[in-house]
Amino acid sequence: MDIQRKNVGRNKAIRWTIIGIVTVGVVLGLFFWVKGLKPAAPPAEMSALWPDTVKRGPMVREVRGLGTLVPEDTMLITANTDARIERILIKPGTPVKADSLVMVMTSPELQTALLDAQYLLKASQADFENLKVTLEKALLDMQSAAAQTKGDMENAKLQADRDQTLAKDGLVSEIDAKISATKAQQLAEQYQLQLKRLEINSKADEAQLAAAKVKVDQLEGEYSLKKSQVNQLNVRAGFDGMLEALPAPLTQVEEGQKVLAGTPLGKVAQPSHLKAELKIAETQVKDIAIGQPAVIDTRLAGGGSNGLIEGRVSRIDPSILNGTVTVDVALKGQLPQGARPDLSVDGTIQLEKLDDVVFVGRPVFGQENSSVQLFKIEPDGKYANKVKVAFGRSSVNTIEIKSGLSVGDRVILSDMSNFDQYDRIKLN
């Protein structure tokens, strides 16, 4: 017969409750254990990375910038007056001499003004000559009158002396002798007045002639100016060099075009005297100074090998344009073959030499006096761990280590932004 067991349902419920609690505890424990595990190190191909070793020793600080070769001596040819371009005789890219005729312009208004100035000058010169002759004639008349008075004075004086002698002998009355003496005295005073008049008249004549000469000179200057402007309608180069196209934003001129005074017509440069204009980032220009040595690499053009040119910083532009500062480098020695204006170049300026510093190759995102996180390769080369590195002074390809790395450490300089969320990577 079957025996009825007591509390079977209750015991079964307790057993299943215990099993459930244990199961939940195990699951929670596994969950928190898995959550506490570090993520697996992601793999990275070592062949695609750029590693470098921390070194100690001398480091040369440099900055680099792209630029162009430009002539040191240039001259902009401009129109000296309003005119129309008749013919263009020399095109840009042609060597020219100082007296080379570049283009011919015409200006009917200027030709008319030249003729008017010429006629006015001739009339003024004729008036001057006429005044000179008139004054000379008047002077001669006054000199003739003075000479006549002088003769009369001398005769009157002789007559007065004679009458005085005769009066002493009683041959002439005292009255006649006094009349002769008075007449001689009057003529003497009249002669002195005429001499003073001649002196004053000479000064007046000089003043009139000077005033007339000033007018002639003024008209001569106006005529010379107009003549020079007409001559300058034949536009010449100005000095030896190469005729170049006008730089932007200036526009090139054409035959038949009417131009105003001051309009640029062309540019002449001396291609044998060049300098380099480098564009340096504004963040790097603060340590550049006049006189610092530089090396200009001209091998950028067409991938050729035009060579390297040594030079020194000669000018630093005070203004900033598009985040860069223009730095001029004066070149030394003979230019390499192929160097010409507007040639693209790469310039390196030496800032200073550091004798004993800890440094490494410059990372992709390594900036001077900043802190970044780099992956330091473990000694076995299988893994790399993220470390915080403080940088100091920088150069084009190297940067100073202030803290975070030691001499001999190997770090990855490549862009590792894809692994920002990882502290450790596996190197394959």
Segment 56-79 mean pLDDT: 88
Which of 111, 97, 405 lies closest to 229 in space, CA to CA? 111
Q: What is the pLDDT of residues 286-327, one digit of tens each?
A: 889 999 999 988 875 444 445 788 899 999 999 988 889 999
pLDDT of amino acid 304: 44
Do 245 and 99 share a structural domain?
Answer: yes
pLDDT of amino acid 417: 83
Give a yes or no: residue 195 inside a domain: yes
Give a yes or no: residue 11 inside a domain: no
Q: What is the pLDDT of residues 115-164, one digit of tens each?
A: 999 999 999 999 888 888 888 888 787 888 778 877 877 777 887 777 77
Q: Is the peptide bond before 249 cis (omega within 30 degrees of 0)?
A: yes
pLDDT of amino acid 272: 77
Q: What is the mean pLDDT of the chain?
A: 83
pLDDT of amino acid 35: 57
Look at phi and psi of residue 32 and say left if phi exceeds 0, alpha if psi is from -120 to 50, else beta: alpha
Do 193 and 227 share a structural domain?
Answer: yes
Q: What is the pLDDT of residues 370-404, one digit of tens each?
A: 888 888 888 888 888 889 999 988 888 888 999 88
Do 262 and 149 share a structural domain?
Answer: no
Q: The CATH number of the domain where 96 resides is what? A: 2.40.50.100
Give a yes or no: residue 152 inside a domain: yes
Do 254 and 289 share a structural domain?
Answer: no
Query: What is the torsional sign of CA 394, 397, 403, 404?
Result: positive
Say if residue 269's pLDDT is above 80: yes
d(CA 48, CA 54): 20
pLDDT of amino acid 302: 46
pLDDT of amino acid 92: 86
**Residue 288 vs residues 298, 317, 325, 334: alpha-carbon distances, Å:** 21, 11, 11, 25
Do 199 and 129 share a structural domain?
Answer: yes
Give a yes or no: residue 15 inside a domain: no
Q: The CATH number of the domain where 345 resides is what? A: 2.40.30.170
Q: What is the pLDDT of residues 230-257, one digit of tens each?
A: 999 999 988 888 888 887 777 888 888 9
Beta bridge partners of 357: 57
Give a yes or no: residue 416 inside a domain: yes
Do 162 and 144 share a structural domain?
Answer: yes
Do 237 and 379 share a structural domain?
Answer: no
Domain boundary among 353, 377, 408: 353
Domain boundary among 268, 290, 317: 268
Give a yes or no: residue 22 inside a domain: no
Do 414 and 339 share a structural domain?
Answer: no
Give a yes or no: residue 126 inside a domain: yes
Say if residue 38's pLDDT is above 50: yes
Express as a percent the part of the chain with pLDDT over 90.
25
Q: Fill in the amino acid letter for 253.
A: V
Do 246 and 189 share a structural domain?
Answer: no
Q: The CATH number of the domain where 375 resides is what? A: 2.40.420
Do 122 and 219 share a structural domain?
Answer: yes
What band does 48 get if pLDDT is binned at 50, 70 and 90?
confident
Segment 257-286 mean pLDDT: 88
pLDDT of amino acid 1: 45
Query: What is the torsional sign of CA 281, 282, 283, 288?
Result: positive
Give a yes or no: residue 212 inside a domain: yes
pLDDT of amino acid 37: 47
In the block, which residue shows the tokens 């992956």? 375
Query: Is residue 388 helix, strand or coil?
Result: strand
Q: How many domains does the chain have?
A: 4
Q: Write out the residue range of the structural domain in which residue 117 sits.
A: 109-231
Do 191 and 118 share a structural domain?
Answer: yes
Say if residue 86's pLDDT is above 90: yes
Segment 93-109 mean pLDDT: 91
Domain boundary among 304, 319, 353: 353
Q: What is the pLDDT of residues 1-23, one digit of tens each?
A: 445 555 556 666 676 777 777 77
Do 287 and 194 share a structural domain?
Answer: no
pLDDT of amino acid 10: 63
